[in-house]
Amino acid sequence: MLRFIYTFEQVIHHDSLKLGKSKEEFLQINGPHMATATHVIVILTDAATLSPFVFHEVLFADWLGKRIVTAMFKNVWPGLRPSLKAILGDCPAIDFETKMYNESLDVLEHHIKPLRRVPGVVLEQSYLNKMSDGLKPLESLALVKNGATPVTKEDGDPQVFISYQWDMQGKVEDIKNLLEHNGLQCWADITINHPPRGTSSKSSRSSVTHQLDSGLETLQSQIQRNMKAASVVLTCLTPKYLQSDNCKKDLTLAETFHKPIVPVLLRFSPLESAPDQVRKLLARYSYIDLSNDRLYKQNIPIVLEKVKKLVTHRGYS
């Protein structure tokens, strides 16, 4: 059993008889249970990192907005897919690997169904402190267990890398300004003094140079340097972007650097029209629709909140 679904007073899990023969059949069998659940508990083990069922369940739970908590029985953070890291990294997690099982179970039970009253003033505060200390964001918990320390970013390093096509430069500037107004340092090649990026689907950025204090640096090397420094990659989807070489290069680079990707839809763009490699990379993520004024006003706070969470909890390396 890799996953548990907690729904009111009932705990449901999938087993070998409930997996189905395809992703669609699996979700058809297990989807209704997850839809009615209040909490989703991810049992993190070696097997979980390779399981397509865990992968699809976590994506589905995130799409449904379920409250996810990870029970870490094995620290397999380095082996998780980037999309699972993006979802689970900032969710609460409990250490079952190195802590006493009963103590960790108490923390899990309290997180799902907190006691309304704990007898005794001193005991109550002590108990609540213990329950609180037992919960950490998964990424922080996993990386501390590996002996990692928080990353100290250099001044000027971006927190958000924005990947886009020049056909929507004005909208991208609006998004960049909003993020920066909320304290998130962004990098996009909007202000760089070079010919418009991606003016054709076959455009290449590698030959463009930009004068820096340290000398000449190609745009491609700037892209690699800034994406490596960033905590999250924001991809701005349009039909031209999906067909561009820039899209394929940026998404592949994000996967190489294990960066979480947040896709935003600026124009209606059928994913089926994208090249196979692009389609496979984006199929792991759910986009946020900003394709008209109403949806932009409605959903831009969601973009801001998601990016902030990813930036906040990726302070480890």
Is it the case that residue 293 has pLDDT exceeding 50? yes
Q: What is the pLDDT at residue 236?
A: 94
The token duo for 234 is 């924001």
Q: What is the pLDDT of residues 164-190, one digit of tens each?
A: 988 788 899 999 999 999 999 999 876
Q: What is the pLDDT at residue 239?
A: 92
Mean pLDDT (whole number) for 26-55: 83
Report which listed range, 50-59, 205-214, 294-303, is most confident: 294-303
Is it the case that residue 119 has pLDDT exceeding 60? no
Q: What is the value of pTM for the model shown? A: 0.50
**Residues forming a β-bridge with 11:** 6
Q: Which of 71-75, 79-83, 124-128 has the lowest average pLDDT?
A: 124-128
Q: What is the pLDDT at residue 176?
A: 93
Q: What is the pLDDT of residues 140-160, one digit of tens each?
A: 888 776 655 444 455 568 999
Express as a percent the part of the chain with pLDDT over 70.
74
The token duo for 199 is 């003016």
Mean pLDDT (whole number) for 28-36: 78
- What's the mean pLDDT when you consider all of the chain? 78
Q: Which of 2-16, 46-60, 63-77 has the lowest average pLDDT?
A: 2-16
pLDDT-based confidence at residue 118 (cuts at 50, 70, 90): low
Task: Specify the DSSP class assigned to residue 279.
Answer: H
The token duo for 227 is 């994406």
Mean pLDDT (whole number) for 125-148: 74
Q: What is the pLDDT of residues 229-283, one digit of tens each?
A: 899 999 999 999 999 888 988 998 888 888 899 999 999 888 888 888 888 888 8
Question: What is the rounded CA–CA span in Å between residue 315 and residue 317?
Answer: 7
Q: What is the pLDDT of residues 192-239, one digit of tens each?
A: 444 444 433 333 443 343 444 444 446 777 888 888 889 999 999 999
Check the CA dihedral 211-212-218-219 and report its sign: negative
Q: What is the pLDDT of residues 7-27, one digit of tens each?
A: 545 676 665 556 666 767 777
Q: What is the pLDDT of residues 87-116, one digit of tens each?
A: 888 888 999 988 888 888 888 888 888 766
Q: What is the pLDDT at residue 317?
A: 38
Q: What is the pLDDT at residue 133?
A: 76
Question: What is the rounded CA–CA span in Å between residue 276 and residue 289?
Answer: 22
Task: Specify the DSSP class assigned to residue 316.
Answer: B
Q: If you write DSSP's letter for every residue of 158-209 in order, what string do you get?
A: -SEEEE--GGGHHHHHHHHHHHHHTT--EE-TTSSSSSPTTSSTT---TT-E
The token duo for 246 is 């820039």
Is it the case that residue 315 has pLDDT exceeding 90? no
